[in-house]
Structure 1
Amino acid sequence: MLSVITIPAFNDNYIWLFHQADSNKAYVVDPGCAKSVLSYLQGAETQGNKLDLVGILITHHHADHTGGIAELQKAYQNQLNVYGPSKENIDGLTELIDHQQSLLLPFITNPVNVIEVPGHTLGHIAYSIEDALFCGDTLFSGGCGRLFEGSPEQMSASLSKLSSLDKDTKVYCAHEYTQANLAFAMAVEPNNPQLQQYNQSVLDARMNNISTIPTTIATELAINPFLRSHCTEIKQSISQQFNVNNPTDIQTFTLLRQWKNNF
């Protein structure tokens, strides 16, 4: 069984630390801030829960996901294995992942399914381990990443890959964007009762400074407009917003992302 720990960083980033429940050998995902990771590990050791960092998983090249690699390597005498996409220019990788594959991590029982998810960046990858999905900036709760490098067609295909995972899969994305994403989702699909209920629970959580992550694939299929571009109400909202008739699913997705960029 995998144990996953939240390490907040910067204004709204999440760094994920995980290990087998019966092991103290740990990995971190997208450590943009080394100090946040080291502070957590030092605090855990003080409380008698010492974890030994053995590796890093990187999803894409943006600095708020990679900025802590060098400092963490220095803290661990350059002994860390650092996995990441070969299609992106990332300093400090020791293990290049060049295609969708099954990855074996030392001290982790089950293989890691590496999923290519271009869109936010062209070489972006996600990691699926047991019932956990570490998806960087591809899928958010109620939203998806901006298209800095890829096309709408690429992002839509990437989200389709992720949404086809087991519905109970826990989605560990890299930012606390849920409340803002749901404000947009409510504008797009206001009559979705599951979205209305989820939006209220998220407002309550954030009012009490409680994280909304992880979400699940099942939840996102029910409430996330970027996984629901086939739905009638969303198509109607796009038709009204952009004065287009009978948009296709990919036109709907493309215009949703354009609308969200300026929402």
Structure 2
Amino acid sequence: MGHGIAHVAAAAGYDVCLTDVSQAALDHALERVRDNLDRGIAKGKVTERERDDTLGHLHGEPDLRVAASAADLVIEAVPEQVDLKRAVFATAAETAPEHAIFATNTSSIPLAQLVGAVPRPAQFVGLHFFNPVHLQPLLEIVRAGATGEDTLQRALQFATRVGKDPIVVRDVAGFASSRLGIALGLEAIRMVEEGVASAADIDKAMELGYRHPMGPLKLTDLVGLDVRLAIAQTLAREIDPVRFAPPRLLVELVAAGKLGKKSGEGFYLY
């Protein structure tokens, strides 16, 4: 999701320094931004000048310390692993300016478990984007217990500038969006597991019957089954081990490497 966040920030005129675990991963992320912009041009939603301006504001840097050294805002978008996220923040904090805000894109982990890795807790906030970032209008801003009012206001200003419609929630596991979304997604997976209906028909029920733009199983494939599993495990641990217990089918598909669209197979083939 990091490339999508970089895309919308660069499109809004921010100078963006994107970093990743390797030069190859970084090159792939930058190419995905270009591909999304080119698709926008093909659909008549983006001009060539807008594409070129966006790419002109976007730079790649494989060294996190270098990338963070001049940042006003550091946004972490690594997998849903507490230790990994804390390590990213600790490394970025070595060189980030004192005024910099640190933000996490976590979709479920309580910020209280991450804030200890940043030097100034008042400058820590959650910025939860939604896939695909360049198309989805929502930004869920999570205010941790120590988040300062100035940080919150700067986060809201950022949301507006990148064209997102923000909501503000307090720091609880799953926040508002993931807690609701995962409940529907897990139940849809259980229905497939029980043979209630096919994945396509369950999705059609929600798309046509409840006017959801995308059914819960298509969305699970888009987000990634591994990401859905990580969210479910977090909510099962933090809120209710029964209500958010991952379905057996989800665990089996992830173990088999069937992670959804990114792997070519999940509940659908790609």
Same-fold call, TM > 0.5? no
**Greater percentage in helix:** 2
Calculate the TM-score normalised by the size of structure 2. 0.31
**Greater percentage in strand:** 1
